Structure 1
């Protein structure tokens, strides 16, 4: 915004109705981009799993103005940083230009998250930037799907693109496209995603033009400035409810996939007035494997954690203004070239959020909750289908349990901490790939015990129906379960197992991470996802609620007694007297 435009915007007085309508209009522009991208995309990970996001960003600063409601929250911050990287490198942008970038060190995540950034012009002048992110099922690298659990440098993870102009005034650059397609698997299927991603930005261009035509650029500018100011005020008001002080939280990544040792996230949160200061200097040093996190992802993880804690604060750049994050230089949370990073967005980001939850829970325990499952459960399978004669790359994510809270039990099979992505419908997967799901069920008992228990994760079993394939996993919470809160127990852990048709069984040595496992027709992959952490003392759980869980098959009687000190009569009814006695004994002990 120029000085003259800024002064004009300050002079414009917006009535509440107009401000609300413009706010909804900006949101609607992003929502329509989301829908256009979703409906046109070829890859199920985008069209069904919803691993994508769209937003509007400031023409000069690249700051977030609005983002689609159905996009991944972790992209809230990272697309702001990647748009800023494009702005810094763009030379003479023109209408119809589209930049492509996936470089993790330039405001990115992992290489599979491909950003498109389009300058938006209104009446001949640059007004804003439109951007989106889509998870491509493959972007090269040493294993199909890009989730290399043992990469030791970023080049092993795939093709890295700095901001380059893929579309020039609406015309795709076939030479750049050929370079990309020559370095990725199943390239013939990616053109559908490229066109869908670009088309979503075109939809945004048309809808934002219509909004500006209706209200005028000056009025919309004034609304954007006011919405940013109000979001900051609302976040500051929420932060003010936290007592001043310094709070510390901890979370652990199972391992980096190369060295079988946990990585520590040490989160110190200092609250002063209406500001929060985050320091992670005590975290583990950079690691050899792909669990390093780039700075954009680290910061975005803290943004989304605070949005989880205060969900009613609207989302734009003003929301982040009171959050001051010290660069965690010298730790695995500030990856620099050539550190591998494939696990940062899907896994490390969730551990960062957990560390924030762990710290803030000490200050406002009634607002926090047991930790959620905290893993996207990344499972990539690449192989050849003899029936179709074509190669394929399948990418699956899976849900897990949410943590219990002050008022309710945690949700079972919920999406990950970082997004709204969901498991691709099993019928779609079986139709597109040579596999069969032999099980998809709740992981009973995986919710952490508490006054309000955690939700349950899931079990699934995938059998290779034909051909040969290579499986890779980048998951987490296999070493420890999600933390409980206020005396609640941790949730159940992640588990992965390969069961071969000849009876052999393989358990990954790093529990939740492995790559390039050769499997053939008849072999199966079995996965259990974590449950959520419990909230409050399990001895305070309503015995009738425990009975309800037993009747549904979530626990058997011995487990209910062990975890909640609830006893049953011989005919399976609640033994009130024995339950009271058991609980008194446990409290005394």
Structure 2
């Protein structure tokens, strides 16, 4: 069937709209701030044949573009092998196993078959970040875990809903192994409702245009996505481009981990060879294969955003050399840092390798950390336990056209920090500070963006704090002569004494009492181009706004701005929002 361009474009937009509405339904109905406010979730449509991505919403996390495709494929394979019960209409499978196309255990996936005329036409799937799935520490981000069991409850694909009804036995097993179980039903029902919304909207689209027309459009979109990606790859000069990125430590052994990358344009395709990267590590900074591949895909989506989201966009991208490295973790390696931290460092390596080849398109390194901060404790005033999860923004890298965005979302997604007011309402904490991380932007012709500086105080009860962050040892890389961005800084203030974690931005089970505080200063983005080439007026404006002291500006950019600096510095900035 040949489709005219207008019909093809309308159906393509319609498929994405289905996913967008699933995303909105999920966030609006969820109980947990990390989903309802921070939008740490994603929804998509996947092939009934091989689980290949058909469409994903623009409001979903980019890192889930690849991983949800792999997890759906694993469900199909396990059904075919008899390892998972075959589906009936109304069934919803739950899975969070990192080694079956997942990320970390807190990213919980739901998948349901979508039927037309009694046959499975496609699968609808979504992922939501649950605040806790058990394990050693509240929130699941154990900085010193050495096995998957220490990180939380691991679920293979099982039917949580059977023919539309929640299975009370499966649900009881889950809630018996996680913290704050009484509130989980809100997220579970929101996640299932999003799939129901998707089924209703997709049915309407198919009824309007007919199954054969929509099926032809999906096939054409996949073909065109591959063609467009290859057309973009053709703009890269022939040759091999290399780079390295470093992770501070694995949380157990205080030594850096290396991501070594060689990107080669091989005719119309692009090869990403990670041979020479560090071996599997003891701590939780291993990455599973699905996350590693998805990190490459999302990096290329940043570079070539024109290419539509479809499995076809991934066909020309070939990843090799990850076997026997920490980028291809197998059970029981711990992986809590893979999606939020290692994935961003993989993307950083891709940017660093390709910025000389595509200087007009590729940015200097962004902050590259989600700033995972979990606080679990008991609130005596409300008589209940809680698990608070905080993600943070950071600076984006400068680029050929302008400075980097300050306090932007992480490289891997659109997740934003929940509003301070919501966090203070939900948990016994007070934010003493929420401001830009001054002087954190990497100097350059176009400087990086500034990170975030926040300080949170425990008001009552007792709690335990845990961190899995990165870029505390090395700042985000500058590009083409630009300087590195500022490093991540974590401080714990207890009894008037300030402590820094041994692994800089990774620690767990830190006891807090009322009045104790945690201060986090997230990285700024890397600078782009030589700092001396920066417009003096732009330097003067940064000084006027209090982002640099005059002497800092002189040292970084090799000149002293002539404009007078403002007497007062800004003390706050709103939480990061979607760009």
Relative to the length of structure 2, the TM-score reads: 0.96
Q: Where does residue 82 of structure 1 map in the other structure?
A: 71
Name 1:400's counterpart in structure 2: 394
Q: Which residue of 2 aligns with 1:516?
A: 509
Residue 99 of structure 2 aligns to a residue whose secondary structure is: coil
2:270 counterpart residue number: 276
Pairing partner for 1:471 from 465, 478, 489: 465
Matched, 1:307 2:301: yes
CA contact (8 A) 2:355 2:364 kept: no
Gaps of 5+ in 2: 80-84, 566-579
Is 1:57 the equivalent of 2:57?
no
Distance 1:102 1:568 in 2: 53
Contact (CA 8 Å) 1:383, 1:470: kept in 2 or not? yes
d(CA) in 2 for partners of 1:479 and 1:462? Answer: 23
Higher-Rg structure is 1
Residue correspondence of structure 1 range 438-517 to structure 2 within 5 A: 438-500=432-494, 502-517=495-510
Question: 1:503 and 1:53 mapped to 2: Cα distance?
Answer: 42
Report the Cα offset of residue 367 of structure 1.
1.7
Deviations 1:393-430 (A, max 9, x none): 00000000001111100010000000000000000000
Deviation string, structure 1 residues 522-573 (Cα, Å, up to 9, x no partner): 000000000000000000001111111111111111111111111256x849
Q: Select 1:178's aligned residue among 168, 172, 175.
A: 172
Q: Distance in 2 between matches of 1:368 and 1:85?
A: 33
SS at match of 1:130: strand
Q: Is the 8 A contact 1:66 1:315 kept in 2?
A: yes
Q: Give the whole-Å Cα distance in 1 for the aligned partners of 2:188 and 2:358.
A: 45
Alpha-carbon distance between aligned partners in 1 of 2:564 and 2:407, rounded to the nearest angstrom: 28
Question: Which of 61, 69, 77 is the aligned partner of 2:58?
Answer: 69
Aligned-pair distance for 1:362?
2.4
- 1:62 positional shift: 0.2
Match of 1:25 in 2: 14
- Residue in 1 that maps onto 2:569: none
Partner of 2:573: none
Residue number in structure 2 paired with 1:294:
288
CA distance in 1, matches of 2:8, 2:307: 16
Three-state SS of the structure 1 residue aligned to 2:291 is helix
Q: Offset at 1:366?
A: 2.3
Q: CA separation in 2, counterparts of 1:358 and 1:554?
A: 26
Question: After superposition, where does 1:211-222 map in structure 2 within 5 Å?
Answer: 211-222=205-216
Whole-angstrom distance in 1 between the partners of 2:415 and 2:268: 32
Equivalent of residue 531 in structure 2, options 518, 530, 538: 538
- Residue of structure 1 equivalent to 2:230: 236
Q: Distance in 2 between matches of 1:295 and 1:28?
A: 29
- 4+ runs of 1 displaced by more than 6 Å? none
Q: Secondary structure at the match of 1:303?
A: helix
For 1:368 and 1:79, locate their aligned partners in 2 and report how far apart those are by CA, in whole Å.
26
Which residue does the alignment assign to 1:108?
102
Aligned equivalents of 1:88, 1:73: Cα separation in 2: 24
Equivalent residues, number = 560
Q: Which moved more, 1:325-334 or 1:103-112?
A: 325-334
RMSD, aligned CA: 0.9
The aligned runs of 1:189-588 (5 Å cut-off) are 189-326=183-320, 328-500=322-494, 502-568=495-561, 572=564
2:560 and 2:331 mapped to 1: Cα distance?
57
Q: How many angstroms apart in 1 are the aligned matches of 2:86 and 2:470?
A: 44
Q: Secondary structure at the match of 1:266?
A: strand
- The CA distance in 2 between the partners of 1:372 and 1:15, in whole Å, is 40
Q: Which runs of 5+ in 1 are unaligned?
A: 1-11, 574-589
Alignment partners' CA distance in 2, 1:572 and 1:342: 47
Q: After superposition, what is the alpha-carbon deviation per residue over 1:199-225, rounded to whole angstroms, capped at 9, x for unaligned?
A: 100011111111111111111000000
User: For each residue in 1:50-80, what CA deviation from the matched residue of structure 2 results, as whole angstroms up to 9, or x when unmatched?
Assistant: 0000000001110000001111000000000
The answer to whether the Cα contact below 8 Å between 1:399 and 1:413 also exists between their aligned partners in 2 is yes
Paired residue for 2:156? 162
